[in-house]
Amino acid sequence: MGTAANIAAAVRELQAGEVVGFPTETVYGLGADATNPAAVANIFALKGRPPDHPLIVHIANAQALAYWAVDVPDNAYRLIEGFWPGPLTLILKRAPHVLEAITGGQQTVGLRCPAHPVATVLLEACGLVGIPGLAAPSANRFGHVSPTTAAHVRAEFGPALTLLDGGACTVGIESTIVDLSTDRPRILRPGMLGEAAIAAALQTNLSTAADNLPRVSGSLAAHYAPRTPLEMVAPEELSSRIQELIASGLRVVAISRTESLPANVLTIPMPAAAAAYAQRLYASLRDADSIEADRIVVEAPPQDIAWRAIDDRLQRAAVGSGDWESTAP
């Protein structure tokens, strides 16, 4: 739980170089002292994360920027004023002492101030003992479906991991990542904080340039993936595709906003609104995976800006999911 005693115990673990699971409003994270090379190495080992894949540093407030970043532009402060604490990560020019393992060897660093009350208290307590930030990727094995409850984290890492339980995450998918390391801000990873809100806060259009992009968390083509093969299907083709798969002898589970699906398929119903859908998405993928079907069929989300981040996660989940060649009819 997130009681004062549990948070104090978690801080002691972090001081000792250990990894601690904790909630944010987006997903649960695996936190470690971002200034401790051995502690950061523990994250990579625990997750099986590629060594060149940068980590996001979670900080208590904007005052901590001065430790982690240099040449912070005015645009950063505009976004901080509008959206911190919250589901927004800023890519900034790194301070010279920031660990190479944090940045993936790049000259930039990702920083976020989470809004979850347990994360807030934990980060403030860390600051009091000299830990200026926690490196904290999602609390799952690398490439797997992100966790949005403490039970999801336990399923990944078992009882040995120190874990603060903050209930179900309210946003449900990872933060929007905005690159401010160049003159033109650009979104490197979509999240539920959308482009229109960011552009309005900055009073400028965002760049769409795709050259010289910093590597960031969640940018690989295969990510957020269940072990069961997953495919997205257009709403008008959903029923026929499900029947085709069943006729070929496959066990199918559907994740759908549509109520009128065939009666012979197990369906995980989803909300019609984007925010509610996002909050439920990863839990639904994990539920579908636990059924051990041959195929997860997901109704493709609307091609609307409000659904951009959800579509992004599902596209990557489909690429990273199970062995397509052995099951595709």
pLDDT of residue 2: 67
Whether 223 shows a pLDDT value over 80: the answer reads yes
pLDDT of residue 1: 60
Range of the domain at 290: 230-327
**pLDDT tens digit string along 231-249?**
999 999 999 999 999 999 9
> What is the overall mean pLDDT for the chain?
93
Do both 236 and 172 map to the same domain? no
Do both 197 and 234 map to the same domain? no
**CATH number, domain at 149?**
3.90.870.10
Identify whether 143 is part of a domain: yes
Identify whether 212 is part of a domain: no
Do both 239 and 166 map to the same domain? no
Residue 29 — pLDDT band, cuts 50, 70, 90? Answer: very high
Instruction: Specify the pTM.
Output: 0.94
* Owner of token pair 């006729």: 247
Identify whether 214 is part of a domain: no
pLDDT of residue 220: 81
**pLDDT tens digit string along 32-56?**
999 999 999 999 999 999 988 999 9
Do both 315 and 193 map to the same domain? no
The pairs formed by 212-216 with CB atoms below 8 angstroms and a separation of 24 or more are 212/182, 213/179, 213/188, 214/54, 214/91, 214/106, 214/108, 214/179, 214/181, 214/188, 215/52, 215/53, 215/54, 215/104, 215/106, 216/54, 216/89, 216/91, 216/110, 216/177, 216/179, 216/188, 216/189
